[in-house]
Amino acid sequence: METVIKVEKLYKIYNETGVEVKAINGIDLEIKEGEFTAIVGPSGSGKTTLLNMIGGLDNPTSGIVEVGGVLLNEMSSSQLIDFRKNNIGFIFQSYNLIPVLTAKENVEFVMQLQGRSKKECSQRAIELLEAVGLGDRINSRPAKLSGGQQQRVAVARALASNPRFILADEPTANLDSKSTENLLDIMLKLNQKEKATFVFSSHDQRVVNKARRVIVVEDGKIINDDANN
């Protein structure tokens, strides 16, 4: 399997109050194509910071972040925006759906930014919403959907642009047990069908149980990497 995410000697240091804090402290990591990986650790461990740097949402203090053969830390802001738009799907804890748009329109939005045809956007959105069990709610706005349904829309939206990478930050934090199990099963199936590489940041044991690889982060360092989970 090809290595598609690689970080070397990665540091993220904050010094806002005159006290140096190493949020990421010299991490080396490789993730292969198609992996379903969870980065876990307590609050403040650095897992979300690591995920954000892999996604190009945050810049390292030093070190290398290579995603899909591209060095993110050598890109300009506009280049990063284009790279994320075409290669990375994000799933956030807070869903981040656009309230005035329907489920279908939320999923179509990223494809419209890519310049795809109206017909292609519509077909892909319907296909993905059916895949996440929301074929009967395509015209519902977020306010008319439950938390679990909104997160499933967010999953469909993340996959809409055919990204190589799906980065999910605490995607189950606001969901009950049944919604969490359903969502994780959906993402596993989509991982297998779409061949996208999934990386989660989570402290949810249910996510850990589903992941094929579990990376434990503490105090900005990887303290355990179980590739046979």
Give the predicted TM-score (pTM) of the model.
0.86
Hey, where are the domains in the chain? 3-226
Contact assessment for residue 175 and residue 206, using Cβ atoms and an 8 Å cutoff: no
187 exposed, middle or buried (CB, 10 Å; 0-12, 13-18, 19+)? buried
Helix or strand (DSSP H, E) at 192: helix 177-194
The sheet carrying 213-218 orders its strands as 88-91, 165-169, 197-202, 36-40, 213-218, 221-226
Structure tokens at 216: 């434990």
Count of CA atoms in the C-beta half-sphere (13 A) of 207 = 25
Contact assessment for residue 129 and residue 137, using Cβ atoms and an 8 Å cutoff: yes
Q: What residues are paired with 22 via a beta bridge?
A: 13
- Along the 229 residues of the chain, how does pLDDT read in single tens digits? 799 999 999 999 998 788 889 999 999 999 999 999 999 998 889 999 999 999 999 999 999 999 999 999 899 999 999 999 889 999 887 888 999 999 999 999 989 988 999 999 999 999 989 888 899 999 999 999 998 899 889 988 988 888 889 999 988 877 788 878 888 888 888 888 878 899 999 888 888 888 999 999 999 999 999 874 4
Structure tokens at 208: 């850990």
First to last CA, the chain: 18
Contact assessment for residue 69 and residue 87, using Cβ atoms and an 8 Å cutoff: no
DSSP letters, 113-155, are HTT--HHHHHHHHHHHHHHTT-TT-TT--GGGS-HHHHHHHHH
Backbone conformation region of residue 34, classed left if phi is above 0, alpha if psi is from -120 to 50, else beta? left
Structure tokens at 169: 């930050």
Nearest to 37 by CA among 168, 194, 162: 168
Going by their DSSP bridges, the two strands 70-71 and 21-32 should be labelled as unpaired
Instruction: Give the pLDDT confidence score for residue 182 in this predicted structure.
Output: 82
3-226: what CATH class? alpha beta
Report how far residue 116's alpha carbon sits from residue 30's, in angstroms, rounded to the nearest whole number.
Answer: 32
Tokens 């591209």, located at residue: 70
